[in-house]
Amino acid sequence: MKISGLQKLTLLDYPGKVACTIFTPGCNLRCPFCHNATLVFSCTDEIGEENVLSFLQKRAGVLDGVCVTGGEPLLQKDIADFLQKVKALGYLVKLDTNGTFPERLLPLLEAKLVDYVAMDIKASPDNYDTATGVATDLEKVRRSVDLLKNSGVAHEFRTTTVKGIHTAADFEAIAQWLAGEEQFFIQQYKVADDMIGEPFESFSKEELEAFAAIVAKTVKTVAVRGV
């Protein structure tokens, strides 16, 4: 599997776990507020799978888990083989995904190769293409949501919220879409050095909390991150 980056320690990326984070190159979306432009447009394997596995062998018993993020990790056709090797070392696995590859997500869920999945909900269905920057097959995204809902695998849904793209109407629609779900997170947008588009504005803490209150009508646990 292609690996473009390795963060050797994180206390934030895997809830409740001490973990490392692996970054895979490439993404099929072009979200204008994305802060990982280098990864999105890359296809290079800068670190190498064997180097990462060697690192994990040495850190066994120190780290609890491995987060696999991107880019979009499910672009990696051999991700299942890699995750089998990670699981064989005794690690928990968290996967970050944009939900556009349900046909690749399902085998990972069925084989129990992931222990936690964080899926992005980019916007309301009517606003999805604006948030993703491309024409998005929303039925595939809906399919991934349904797979996670019925998987028995711990998961979360999350939306990075940007002025000029998101409004309260997005969260009214998301509340209906995710009704009955366990947890949803609203993430504050922050300007970074590696943006795809021009910088946007961030919502205030109070505005984000107002959006959270909308979703909290139908989702059991809703919280704001990054403020």
CA distance 173 to 111: 32
CA distance 58 to 9: 13
Give the pLDDT confidence score for residue 199 in this predicted structure: 81
* 115, 65 contact by CB (below 8 A): yes
pLDDT means per 10 residues in the chain (227 residues)? 95 95 95 85 85 96 96 96 98 98 98 98 97 97 97 97 96 97 95 74 95 98 94
Q: How far is CA 95 from CA 167, 172, 211, in A?
A: 28, 27, 25
Q: What is the pTM of this model?
A: 0.95
Give the pLDDT confidence score for residue 29 in this predicted structure: 95
Q: What is the pLDDT of residues 4-46, one digit of tens each?
A: 999 999 999 999 999 999 999 999 999 999 888 887 887 788 8
- What are the residues facing 120 on neighbouring strands? 158
Domain chopping of the chain, boundaries: 5-225
Cα-based angle 1, 128, 169 (whole degrees, multiple of 5):
135
Give the pLDDT confidence score for residue 227 in this predicted structure: 87
Give the pLDDT confidence score for residue 49 in this predicted structure: 94
CA distance 188 to 203: 7
* 97, 117 contact by CB (below 8 A): yes
* 107, 76 contact by CB (below 8 A): no
Give the pLDDT confidence score for residue 193 in this predicted structure: 66
- Which is it for strands 19-23 and 5-10: parallel, antiparallel or unpaired? antiparallel
CATH number of 5-225: 3.20.20.70
Q: What is the pLDDT of residues 68-85, one digit of tens each?
A: 999 999 999 999 999 999
